[in-house]
Amino acid sequence: MSIRSNLAVILVAGTMLGGIAYTAEAASTTAAQTETKGAVVPNKAIDKDVGRLSQDGAQALADIQATRLAIFNAKPDEAKTFINKAKDELQKASKDEAVFMKAEADLTKPTKAPVAGDAKADARPASATPIQWLPVDSQLTLGEDFKATPEKVAAITEANKSLKTSDRQGALEKLAVADVDVEFITAALPLNQTVTDVGKAADLINQGKFYEANAVLKDVTDNAMLNIVDIYGQPYKAKAEKPANAAAVTPSTDKAAAPKG
């Protein structure tokens, strides 16, 4: 099964998906069981990289999407209100401890349906220079080789109880004891570029250039990358050489292009 099958809603919802993805498909999968690991302690680096989210960043993303929707619905006053909120929230988020340093080349680009004009952007090589990333949403999912057993299903049930109380470390420990391979998938935006683009969009909106502002804001969400780390601290790319099959994280408001009328 695809461990990223539910990621299409990440940047649309703008909220953290707290539970572990577990479906009937997972229970019936015939994939080979993950190679037995020895005594495992969840990697503490997970908490630093993907265990925390920026609440201000997540709210800024929601307001960016609300701005685009207001533009589409020809509501300029609402668009101005939401974009100004997003600017303020990004300023707060820039000081958030959840911000992490990583090279774009070390992250995973979400796959999406081909769009005319995107080929040039996709051809650009990912930078190997570490920059600041703003984590805005995440999901805890089962590894690709998960095979359901009574012990593992019970561990997942207990881990989900811990997640409901925001006890991620407790959830990880319960999963590790049962040798359940789990991955954190975090959607992150390049901080400095996002701040710059949102400021540019705000200026365009104030000038009445709503079509141009919407295009800039679309770029903001298109710049999102996925940071994937499993419970044992192994980067996803190091575990499998096959291309990541991440779902698109393009906002549902992509059809917004210009105010009606």
Q: Is residue 249 part of a domain?
A: no
Q: Is residue 259 part of a domain?
A: no
User: Is residue 50 within 8 Å of residue 135, measured between CB atoms?
Assistant: yes
Which domain does 106 fall in, by range?
Answer: 7-117+129-239
In this structure, what CATH number is given to the domain that contains residue 61?
A: 1.20.120.1940
Instruction: State if pTM tops 0.85.
Output: no
Q: Is residue 51 part of a domain?
A: yes
CA dihedral sign, ordered 36, 39, 44, 47? positive
Domain count, the chain: 1
pLDDT means per 10 residues, the chain with 261 residues, are 33 37 36 36 44 87 97 98 98 94 92 55 79 89 78 84 74 78 86 98 98 97 88 49 43 47 49
Give the DSSP H/E element, type plus range, for residue 236: helix 236-239
Pairing of strands 225-230, 100-103: unpaired
